[in-house]
Amino acid sequence: MANSNTTKEIETLAAEIGDKIYIDVAKWHLYLSDARLHTAVAERVYPLLEEQSINEDKVLQILKEIPIKLGGGRKELPLVDLLPMQCQVNLIDLLEDYQRKL
């Protein structure tokens, strides 16, 4: 039963991330839900919610470890390089708010 609760929590977190966080490409905003990246990010950051406070460095490290293929896989960049600074700040705020609700 705890596993289904965790899955539901991750899905809820993924939905929030997908609706609010985006990649900026040539001033176009591609939301993580549209890029199908919201669940991967939520799964990776969810364990951080168990800590006493959200550690910004750990979140940024996770974003560095998520590779994004560009140009049909000819190039690969870490997700953190595609998120505007404001989205990184918004993600931290979103995680802190979500953590308080748990």
- How far apart CA 83 and CA 22 sit, in angstroms, is 6
pTM of the model: 0.92
Q: What is the model's pLDDT at position 5?
A: 84
Contact 15, 7 (CB under 8 A): no
For the record, the structure tokens of 61 come out as: 């490290």
pLDDT in tens, the chain (102 residues): 457 789 999 999 999 999 999 999 999 999 999 999 999 999 999 999 999 999 999 999 999 999 999 999 999 999 999 999 999 999 999 999 999 998
Single out the residue of 15, 58, 51 nearest to residue 36, CA to CA.
Answer: 15
Domain positions in the chain = 2-101
